[in-house]
């Protein structure tokens, strides 16, 4: 059985306040579906169908969405008797998904959120990602790489998209003009982690237990963190501009992160 996928869904998304005033950022929609759904579809395309969602701000919205998903994503017949369950006529493509929703506190930092999931995690390793970033990461190859190097953690390094348009030049001649290309230099943490279960021993359930500026730093210092380089598409959704760019790509049928059929 493949490892579970932990998705951090507790942030407030203050830079998307026009939407996140009433819903958590992972529920902001791209193409009519929450970005969280897009992330889960990417993992599911590689056979990773067991998800543990670390909820915080407006976690009730995420709980309600998935609790009712079988009905809202299907045709059904319902009798209004309180003793009758809906009869589902069609099956959604997500029928294999197993989703555990866990309230990890509204103000808890990411490390504390992961630690509070410990009793729900099975097996000797798990995947971890953020609830606001998509990419065409080869999850299968990432998992195999993690198992090959024998360290406790693997982090996916990506090239950040440029905030501005870029002109490619040949002398004084403009070769191409790109609206928002991937930068050619520098790597950043793109999420898409794989972590051995023993990594949890480096975390505490306290609200102020951080992930990047805490346990991951000590993991690196102890030579227990390796990098998986991803040169393909990656994009986080922190702002309305980034949301709109993802929406535009989806509507145009040019969404590189859509790795599912």
User: How far is C-alpha 65 from the chain's CA centre?
Assistant: 17
Q: What is the largest CA-CA distance in the chain?
A: 76
Quote the pLDDT of residue 162: 62
Q: Which residue has the higher pLDDT, 171 or 225?
A: 225
Neighbours of 64 (CB within 10 A): 12
Q: What is the pLDDT of residue 184?
A: 53
Question: Using one digit for the tens of pLDDT, what is the confidence trace for 43-73?
Answer: 999 999 999 999 999 999 999 999 999 888 8
Q: How far apart are CA 143 and CA 152, in angstroms?
A: 12
Q: What pLDDT shows up at residue 216?
A: 92
Strands 33-34 and 87-88: unpaired
d(CA 160, CA 182): 6
Residue in 132, 37, 54 with CA at minimum distance from that of residue 93? 37
Q: What confidence tens digit (pLDDT) does each residue in 114-163 have? A: 999 999 999 999 999 999 999 999 999 999 999 999 999 999 988 877 65
Q: How far apart are CA 61 and CA 259, in angstroms?
A: 26
Contact 156, 192 (CB under 8 A): yes
Question: Residue 24 to residues 57, 157, 165: CA-CA distances in angstroms?
Answer: 6, 26, 30
The pLDDT score that the predictor gives to residue 195 is: 98
Q: Is the pLDDT of residue 172 over 70?
A: no
Is the pLDDT at 183 greater than 70? The verdict is: no
Q: How confident is the model at residue 74 (pLDDT cuts 50, 70, 90)?
A: confident
Q: Is the pLDDT of residue 201 over 70?
A: yes
Q: Classify strands 153-158 and 193-196 as parallel, antiparallel or unpaired.
A: antiparallel
28-45 per-position pLDDT tens digit: 999 999 999 999 999 999
Supply 159's token pair.
């090239």
Question: Percentage of the chain with pLDDT > 70?
Answer: 90
Separation of alpha carbons 223 and 221, rounded Å: 5
Those residues with Cβ within 8 angstroms of residue 136's Cβ, 6 or more apart along the chain or in another chain: 42, 232, 233, 234, 256, 257, 259
In angstroms, rounded to a whole number, what is the distance separating the alpha carbons of residues 203 and 114?
Answer: 8
Domains and CATH numbers, the chain: 5-251 (3.90.550.10)
Give the pairing type, strands 225-230 and 153-158.
parallel
Dihedral sign for Cα 248, 253, 259, 261, please: positive
Q: Which two tokens stand for residue 107?
A: 């103000």
CA 25 to chain centre: 11
Note whether 179 and 166 are within 8 A (CB): no
Average pLDDT over residues 178-185: 53
pLDDT tens-digit map of 85-104:
888 888 788 889 999 999 99
């Amino acid at each position: 059985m493949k490892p579970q996928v932990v998705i951090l869904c507790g942030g407030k998304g203050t830079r998307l306040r026009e939407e996140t005033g009433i819903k958590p950022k992972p529920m902001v929609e791209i193409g009519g579906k929450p970005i969280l759904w897009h992330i889960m579809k990417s993992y599911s395309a590689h056979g990773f169908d067991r998800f543990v969602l670390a909820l915080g701000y407006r976690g009730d919205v995420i709980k309600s969405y998935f609790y009712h998903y079988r009905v809202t994503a299907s045709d059904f017949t319902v009798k209004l008797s309180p003793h009758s369950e809906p009869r589902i006529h069609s099956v959604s493509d997500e029928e294999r998904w197993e989703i555990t929703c866990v309230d990890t506190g509204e103000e808890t930092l990411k490390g504390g959120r992961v630690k509070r999931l410990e009793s729900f995690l099975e097996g000797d390793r798990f995947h971890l990602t953020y609830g606001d970033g998509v990419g065409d990461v080869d999850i299968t190859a990432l998992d195999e790489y993690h198992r090959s190097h024998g360290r406790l953690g693997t982090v996916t390094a990506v090239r950040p998209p440029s905030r501005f348009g870029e002109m490619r030049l040949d002398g004084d001649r403009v070769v191409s003009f790109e609206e928002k290309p991937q930068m050619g230099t520098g790597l950043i943490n793109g999420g898409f982690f794989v972590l051995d279960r023993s990594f949890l021993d480096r975390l505490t359930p306290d609200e102020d237990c951080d992930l990047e500026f805490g346990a991951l730093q000590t993991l690196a210092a102890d030579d227990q963190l390796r990098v998986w380089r991803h040169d393909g598409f990656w994009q986080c959704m922190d702002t309305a501009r980034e949301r709109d760019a993802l929406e535009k790509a989806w509507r145009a049928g040019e969404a590189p992160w859509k790795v599912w059929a």
